[in-house]
Amino acid sequence: MASEITYAEVKFKNASPAAVAKVPPETKKHQHHKDGHHTQKYPLWLPWLISLLLLLVCIALVIALLVAPFSQSGDQPTALQQKFTKWQCVSAGLQGKGQGWTCCPNGWKRFQKSCYYLSDDMMIWAESQQNCSGMGSYVAVINSKAEQDFLTKEVNQPTRGENYYIGLSAQKVGQWQWLDQTPLDNTVAFWRKDEPSNVTAEKCVVIYRNQKTDNWNDVRCEHHNRICEATAVIV
């Protein structure tokens, strides 16, 4: 009996270390952290990297806010925009909207939502149409007395010519119509006294250099100055 008891004690002592060795690692890790001996460390450069990224995001937002209003909201540029690179802009006073500037090409005159080019050279009627079209515009169409008054004032500047084509002509004698085939509205017509002549030879219309608002003449479609008109660019 004494030898069996001794054998049992030896067997227990040999198994004891193995049991201790099988303590789960998670338990040790938890205990180590609980005792305050383990501290998570981050690279010293990490806060600087985060600050730099935030700075870049802020810069990108500022650029977007400054550039977006002038991007035409992704729309295709107008023919006028494709022809000119230098512009003059004035505040359009459109509060509460992203767009607030009315722009015309340098050298053009602005009135309300349109831009006007008064030529220095003279061309026949057909060439005048082609010239205006080539600049992304059309020979001026007058829709109101305010517009007529504006153009009259411009034509009467000291350096101007005598006659300026507008976009009014007649395919048949006396049948006046604008470039878009719209018939002339006689309530918005500004003929000189005793005009139009309504003769076969005079099928084009000009603004005659005259201080009076009523200054339209029907003339031969020969060499005259011209007024080109285009819708102003809103940005």
The tens digit of pLDDT for each residue in 35-79 reads 555 555 667 777 888 888 888 887 877 565 444 444 443 456 788
52 within some domain: no
Establish if 103 belongs to a structural domain: yes
The token duo for 211 is 């201080």
User: Residue 150's domain spans which residues?
Assistant: 75-234
For residue 187, being part of any structural domain is answered with yes
1 part of a folded domain:
no
Look at residue 137 and tell me if it is in a domain.
Answer: yes
Domain-located, residue 207: yes
Which tens digit of pLDDT belongs to each residue from 126-172?
999 999 999 999 999 999 999 999 999 999 999 999 999 999 999 99
Tell me the whole-structure pTM to 2 decimals.
0.66
Domains of the chain: total: 1
CATH of the domain at 90: 3.10.100.10
* H/E element, 25: helix 25-34
Closest by Cα among 116, 128, 108 to 206: 128
Kindly report the CA angle at 201 between 195 and 202, in degrees rounded to 5?
A: 35
Residue 140 falls inside a structural domain: yes
89 belongs to a structural domain: yes
| Residue 122: closest CA among 219, 204, 227 | 227
